[in-house]
Structure 1
Amino acid sequence: MRFVSYRRDGELYHGRLAGDQLESGVIELGPGDLLSVLEGEGLAAAGQRPGPERSAAELTLTAPLLRPPKLLAVAANYADHIKEGGGTPMNPARATPRLFLKPSTAITGPYDPITLPKISTRNDWEVELAVVIGERCRDVPVDRALDVVAGYLTANDVSARSIEPGFERDEEHAHPFFDWLLGKWPDGFAPLGPYLVTADEVPDPQDLELVLEVDGTVRQQGSTKDMIFGVAELIAFASSVMTLEPGDVIETGTPDGTGVAIGVFLRPGEVMTARVGNLGEQRTPIES
C-alpha cells in the first residue's frame, strides 16, 4: 500500500492511494499527517479502513511525515561516494555507521521548491532511500531489524558544501566537521515522499535503483545493494544507541555523483528529480 499526507481546503490530512499512483485518487483516513497512524493502529490496519475518496486535483501533497520523532541520516555509506570525495572506504567489520540528525524544519514536500540559503553558495544533492520505523524498539538484532520497518520513502539529503557567514572567522572557530553538519540543516534540505510505501511492497531494500537528475541530466545513478551498512545493520546499530520510535525516519546514505565531486552546484531555476526504486518520484525546483 501507498500512504500520503496532503493539504485539502487549507487543512492537513492523510490517506492511502486508491491505486498505484496519485492520479488514481486517495482514500482519506483522517486529519493530520501519517504520524498518528504509525503511533496508533499502524499502516496495515489503516489500509483496511474505509473512507471518502478524494481526487488528485483536490490535494497538495506534503511530506508523508512532517515532524517525525527523529530524522536520522547516515554519512559515508557508499564506497564510491567516499572515493569521489578523496577518502578511503571503511571496512564495516572495523567501523560503525556515521549517524547524524537533521532538524524537522529541513523536511519539505516532494514537489515543494527549495530556497537556497544565504549561508552558502555551494549547495548539492544526495538521493537516498529513507526507512520509516513502525514500532518502539531498542537493541534490535540484525536478523529482526527489518521487522520493525513500517515502510520506505524517497529522500534527498540536500547539503550545503560551504558555510559563508559573511565575515572572516578565526581558524579555530571554523571547524570542518561542524561546517559539514551545519550544511545539512537549512530549511527544505530534506525533501521526503511522495509516498510512504509499506514494507511488504519492498521485499529487498538492498535492491533498489537510486537516480537523481538536475534539469534532465543524470547526476547520480546507483543501487542500494552498494551500501556499506545495509538497512538492517543501520537499524540494529541505531537502536543500540537510542530508542527508535514509530515514525522515526532514517536516511541511509547516497551513492557517488554528487556535485561537490565535480564542482557543480545547484542554481536557481533548476529542478532536481529524485527517485528510488518504485517509491515514487520527487520534483524539487530551486529558488534563490
Structure 2
Amino acid sequence: MFVKPEPASAPFAGPFALATLSAPDGPRFPALVTADAQVVDLRLAFENAQLTVRGLLEEWPSVLPRLRALAEDGTAGHGPLSEFRVHAPVEPRQVFQSGANYRQHVIDLHVAHRAPGDDRPQEERRAEAAELMDRRAAQDLPYVFIGLPSAVTGPYDDVVLPAWAEKPDWELELAAVIGRPAHRVPVGDALSHVAGYTIANDLTDRATVFRRDMPQIGTDWLRSKNAPGFTPLGPWIVPADSVPDPGDLRLLLKLNGETMQDESTKDMIFDVARMVSYASQTAQLLPGDLVLTGSPAGNGMHWGRLLRDGDVMEGSIAGLGAQRTRCVAEDATS
C-alpha cells in the first residue's frame, strides 16, 4: 500500500526538487517536481530513456544548471504530482549511518537503552554520556557505520515489522545526498560534495542492537537496522543551494498524530560537513550515496512506546517535505 501526497502548496523549499515517480502500472522514472507540484519527466527532458536520479547525481555539476532552467520553464510540465506514485528518491550504492549525534538523544539512550549487565544508576549514566560527547566532539570522532541499500523504501510505503523484532523504534534523520565523489575531503570542502538533502527514518529494533549471546562483540547493526523497508526515504532530494543552513532545520515526527520528536539540527554534536568529511577519511563516497546524520531525542525507548501493527508515522523536516508510513506486522501480511 502507498499513500499519495497531497501537496496544498510548495512541498519543499526552493523552486524544484528531484524525485523518483511512476504512473499507475508504469516504470519508475526520474522527475523534477516544481514548487507548485508539477512534474517534469527527466527522461524526456534529457532524451535518455534509461536515466535515473543516481545518473543525474553522477553528473551533478553540469546537470544542476539544466534543472534550474527546466524549473523556470512554465511549459515543461508533464502533469500534476497527484497523478504519480512517489518512491524513494534515489537508489544509493552506500548508506552511511550515524549514531549518538544529538546531545539529548545520547543522554536518553544511556538512560533507557543500557548494555546487558549495566546496573548503574541513571545519574551516573547521564554523566558518562555528557563526558563521552564532550570527548568525541573534541577529538572529532563521529560514530559512523554502514547500512544496506536494500533497507530503503518509499516515503509513503508500508513498513513491515518483522516477527522477530521485539522493540521496533523510529529515528527521524536529516540525510545528505552525495553529488560529487568524496575521499579524504577536509571539513571546509565537504559541503561542496553534497548535492542535496532528504528525509530518512532509520528504524531500529532495540532488542537486537546488542549481541546478548556475545556481549564482548557489542552492537549488531545488521540485524537491528537493515530489515527490508527499515529506511523510509524521501519524498524529495532538495538541492543544497535551496537549504541555506542544514544546521538549523526543524525535525518533527508524529506517531498516530502525537508528537514524539521535535528538535532542531542545532542539537547535533557533529554537523553535516564534519559527518561527510569524517566518513570520507575511510571510504570513498559516491554520487547518490546517503550520509544519515543521526536522530534527535524522542524515540520510542524514551517514551516507553515501541512501534506496533497499525501505527502511522509522519516525519517532516523543514523545507524538505514530509513522509507518512504505516506499520504492518509481518504475520498480518501473510
TM-score for both structures, normalised by structure 1: 0.91
Q: Does 1:217 align with 2:261?
A: no
Alignment identity in percent? 37
> Matches of 1:176 and 1:255 in 2, distance apart?
22
- Tell me how large the CA RMSD over aligned residues is: 2.0
- Runs of 4 or more off by more than 6 Å in structure 1? none
Report deviation, 1:185. Answer: 0.7
Higher deviation after alignment, 256-265 or 103-112: 256-265
Name the residue aligned to 1:142.
187
Name the residue aligned to 1:56.
81
Q: Secondary structure at the match of 2:246?
A: coil
Letter in 1 for 2:322: E
Q: Does 1:10 align with 2:26?
A: yes
Name the residue aligned to 1:81.
105
Say if 1:60 and 1:242 are closer, same or farther in 2 by CA, change over 3 A.
same
Q: Does 1:42 align with 2:60?
A: no
> Matches of 1:240 and 1:172 in 2, distance apart?
30
Q: Does 1:227 align with 2:279?
A: no
Name the residue aligned to 2:39.
26
Report deviation, 1:141. Answer: 1.2
Say if 1:102 and 1:170 are closer, same or farther in 2 by CA, change over 3 A.
closer
> Matches of 1:108 and 1:142 in 2, distance apart?
30
Name the residue aligned to 1:126.
171
Higher gyration radius (CA): 2
Q: Deviations over 1:7-33 (max 9, x none)?
A: 12420101111325xxx2201101554
Q: Does 1:155 align with 2:200?
A: yes
For the 8 Å contact 1:68–1:247, the answer to whether it is kept is yes
Report deviation, 1:207. Answer: 0.5
Q: 2:325 aligns with which of 279, 284, 288?
A: 284
Report deviation, 1:140. Answer: 1.2
For the 8 Å contact 2:96–2:279, the answer to whether it is kept is no
Letter in 2 for 1:77: N
Letter in 2 for 1:55: P
Q: 1:239 aligns with which of 280, 285, 310?
A: 280
> Matches of 2:106 and 2:65 in 1, distance apart?
38
- Aligned positions, number: 279
Q: Deviations over 1:145-176 (max 9, x none)?
A: 11111000011111111139xxxx98338954
Q: Does 1:172 align with 2:214?
A: yes
Q: Does 1:254 align with 2:300?
A: no
Say if 1:237 and 1:54 are closer, same or farther in 2 by CA, change over 3 A.
same
Name the residue aligned to 2:95.
71
Q: Deviations over 1:168-216 (max 9, x none)?
A: x9833895412x5421111111111111100011000000001100000
> Matches of 2:52 and 2:168 in 1, distance apart?
29
> Matches of 1:260 and 1:141 in 2, distance apart?
36
Q: Which has the higher strand share?
A: 1
Q: Secondary structure at the match of 1:211?
A: strand
Q: Secondary structure at the match of 1:254?
A: coil
For the 8 Å contact 2:170–2:300, the answer to whether it is kept is yes
1:73-112 equivalence runs, <5 A? 73-86=97-110, 88-89=129-130, 90-91=133-134, 92-112=137-157
Report deviation, 1:278. Answer: 1.1
For the 8 Å contact 1:28–1:54, the answer to whether it is kept is no
TM-score for both structures, normalised by structure 2: 0.79
Q: Secondary structure at the match of 2:176?
A: strand
> Matches of 1:170 and 1:156 in 2, distance apart?
26
> Matches of 1:202 and 1:249 in 2, distance apart?
17
> Matches of 1:71 and 1:261 in 2, distance apart?
26
For the 8 Å contact 1:119–1:163, the answer to whether it is kept is no
> Matches of 1:28 and 1:53 in 2, distance apart?
7
Report deviation, 1:95. Answer: 4.8
For the 8 Å contact 2:33–2:81, the answer to whether it is kept is no
For the 8 Å contact 1:12–1:32, the answer to whether it is kept is no
> Matches of 1:170 and 1:238 in 2, distance apart?
28
Q: Secondary structure at the match of 2:69?
A: coil
